[in-house]
Amino acid sequence: MEAVLAAPWRIILFGGLRAEQNGTSIGRFRSQKIGALLAYLALFPTRAYTREELADLFWPDAEPEVGRTNLRTALFSLRRQLEPPGALAGSVLITRGHSEVTIEPRAISTDVAEFEKALQAAAHPNISSADKAARLEEAVSLYTGPLLQGYNEMWAVTERGRLAESYQRALQKLVRYYEQTEDYNRALESARRLLTVDPLDENSHADIIRFLMATGQQPAARRQFEEMRRRFVTELGREPAPEISALLSARSTPLRASAPVSPDDISVPSASRERPEPAATPPISAPVPLHLPLTLTRFFGREEERTYLAASLRSPDIRLVTLTGFGGCGKTRLAVEIAREVASAFPGGIWFVALAELRDAARFFDVVGDTLGLPRSTSLEQTLNQVIARLHDGDTRKLLVLDNFEQIVEEGAPEIQTLLGQVPKLSCLVTSRHRLLLDGEREFSLLPLPTPEHATTPERLLECASVQLFVNRAQSARPDFQLNARNSAAVAQICARLEGIPLAIELASAWSQTLTPAQMLERLIRRFDILISRRRDIPGRQATLRATIEWSYRLLPADLQVFFTQLSVFRGGWTLEAAEAVTGKTDTIASLAELEQRSLVV
């Protein structure tokens, strides 16, 4: 296979370390030293280093030969991640003989380089004040956190401090520029950013209070002062300066710039300097309150499903969408992704209500109330009234994501109907292995991820969502795992054998730290023995594939449990006549329909 020159990697250094290329994201490395080596080469890409220099820098306490061996291992691991099969060998990391190591500058870009380039452009004497401010905004938008957060090498600490100071100076200039040009909302935004760098900066606190007062947000200004006072008393042992508390009652004329102002021309005043109060402008629009689970892994595939579900939820005429499917097919994760995608359509807020542990439908409104942050009531009627009043608040569209509804469908479905009837601006997205059978319900049955139809090149296989999922989760267990010509056929077979079920693929790929794909494939003959998770943060019902199926099985009535067990003699499907012959049931069609509604057969 002919090697090709890959697209450049974008190395993110602010806020941590991440490498991105054409939708691929690498956030973990086989060791922190290996990640630090990549960061160092990317941060200083214009020079070559001797192997001895790098070994001494990263393994200063090791014997010289051990340090050089560690460096060889680190370079090999980085090449596996940055120069995968099909990429041109040596296109990212360049070694010259046995002495020099460098990174190919054309093969990477970094947010730090772009940050410093924008600051240099802002300092140019021949551009307008507005352009200077635009360049400063470009720079501060790139600063997503301290440089290489979590890395404590001396060179990283030094560079972290230098870049943090540059970020602060840029924000200080923007605060003054927006204040003088009377753009108080953007001045407030810049002052808040400054405060995240130094929460004890008295100037930034004072600026935020002034701008909140100027934009008609007096209660928020008082909360800001109280938060400042709490921090100062707790951490500095003193009260804020009297001039700052006086800002809460200041009455003065707005500050106006008499001439166009450049960010470079504006000094940063002290908190105690007397300042006129700016004129009021419309309040800053608040973001949509999203109360959704934090997701720490990438999401793959489901483009058509996302388009359909997002369009359904955005429509005010469709207020109940039920996402059905068998256990482990990815309903919960898809629901969370969709909820984030449609946030702008629900300005009143979106809440995720976890129902997996609920067994008594009579407590449904208690769980909803807890999610909404309501105090517990002594009666169900009072709880219902509180929930309805909270969801009515503001008369704006709101969304509840009701997750794992299947175990309370019979008694719980009428409760959803009650909510929707009482709150006209409310919509519900429900995940369940069983549809609700309510009027107005829009059901969407979620199928497994597509699997490769036949073995092909690694590059073509990576176009398949199930393979993308396997490789990504395998790299979580073993950061330098790569799909290549040797293992691609086994990975394709694993995804096909597991029928594209996301949970099963995640459980299998987690073994990549100890098993090769070929070894996994051998063990899938007894698939329940390998599809076991060792993670501590997943529910017991999803810790093994057996537990996922058992969860659905236990929700069946006794007669359907017997019927489902009898169907287990079939492999690869069956006809209606065969099912009737094996089970001896006269109402086989009705029983199969019930199992289909419960997402146990298709």
pLDDT score of 536: 44
- Is residue 117's pLDDT more than 80? yes
The answer to whether 91 and 81 are in contact (CB under 8 A) is: no
Report DSSP state, residue 425. T
Asked which of 148-157, 317-326, 415-424 is least confident by mean pLDDT, the reply is 148-157
The answer to pTM > 0.85 is no
pLDDT band at 323 (very low <50, low <70, confident <90, very high): very high
Per-residue pLDDT tens digits for 214-225: 888 888 888 888
A 10 A CB-CB count for 217 gives: 18
Over residues 316-328, mean pLDDT: 90
A 10 A CB-CB count for 377 gives: 16
The residue among 62, 64, 40 whose CA lies nearest residue 51 is 64
Pair of tokens at residue 501: 């079920």
Residues in the chain: 602
Cβ neighbours of residue 591 closer than 8 Å, sequence gap 6 or more: 559, 560, 563, 583, 585
- Is residue 62's pLDDT more than 70? yes
pLDDT score of 214: 83
- Is residue 380's pLDDT more than 70? yes
pLDDT band at 526 (very low <50, low <70, confident <90, very high): low
pLDDT score of 280: 38
User: Cβ-count burial of 290 within 10 angstroms (0-12 exposed, 13-18 middle, 19+ buried)?
Assistant: middle
Cβ neighbours of residue 377 closer than 8 Å, sequence gap 6 or more: 369, 383, 386
Cβ neighbours of residue 158 closer than 8 Å, sequence gap 6 or more: none
The answer to whether 332 and 404 are in contact (CB under 8 A) is: yes
- Is residue 236's pLDDT more than 60? yes
- Is residue 155's pLDDT more than 60? yes
Share of the chain above pLDDT 70, in %: 86
- Buried b / exposed e over 570-602, threshold 16 CB at 10 Å, is eeeebeeeebbebbebeebeebbebbebbbbbe
Share of the chain above pLDDT 90, in %: 28
pLDDT band at 525 (very low <50, low <70, confident <90, very high): low
Phi, psi of 447 (to 5 degrees): -95, 165
d(Cα 588, Cα 594) in Å, to the nearest integer? 10
pLDDT band at 597 (very low <50, low <70, confident <90, very high): low
Tell how strand 18-21 and strand 290-291 pair up: unpaired
- Is residue 402's pLDDT more than 90? yes
pLDDT score of 281: 35
pLDDT score of 148: 92
Per-residue pLDDT tens digits for 246-294: 888 754 334 333 334 455 544 333 333 333 333 333 333 344 678 888 7
Tell how strand 93-96 and strand 100-103 pair up: antiparallel
